[in-house]
Amino acid sequence: MTQFLFSIDRISMWTGKAFAWCIMLMTVGVSYEVFVRYVLGAPTSWAFDLSYIMYGALFMLGGAYTLSRGGHVRGDVLYRLLPVRVQATVELVLYILFFFPAMIAMVFAGADYASDSWRYGELSLMSRANIPIFPFKTIIPVAGALLFLQGIAESIRCVICLRDGEWPARLHDVEEMETMLQHQHEDESEVLGEISSLAKGDGR
Taking the domains of the chain in order of start, what are their residue ranges? 2-173, 177-204
Q: What is the pLDDT of residue 195?
A: 66
Residues in the chain: 204
Question: Is residue 160 predicted with pLDDT exceeding 80?
Answer: yes
Q: CB neighbours of 201 closer than 8 A, spacing ≥ 6?
A: none
Give pLDDT tens digits for 172-184: 644 455 565 566 6
DSSP assignments along 73-99, one per residue: ---HHHHTTS-HHHHHHHHHHHIIIII
For the chain, the C-alpha Rg in angstroms (whole number) is: 24
Dist. CA 137–CA 117, nearest whole Å: 7
Dist. CA 58–CA 139, nearest whole Å: 10
User: Nearest 5°: CA angle at 147, between 144 and 153?
Assistant: 145
Of residues 142 and 120, the one with the higher pLDDT is: 142
Question: Is residue 108 predicted with pLDDT exceeding 90?
Answer: yes
Torsional sign, CA 19, 25, 26, 27: positive
Dist. CA 186–CA 173, nearest whole Å: 21
Q: Are residues 52 and 139 in contact, defined by beta-carbon separation less than 8 angstroms?
A: no
**Mean pLDDT across the stretch 159-183?**
71
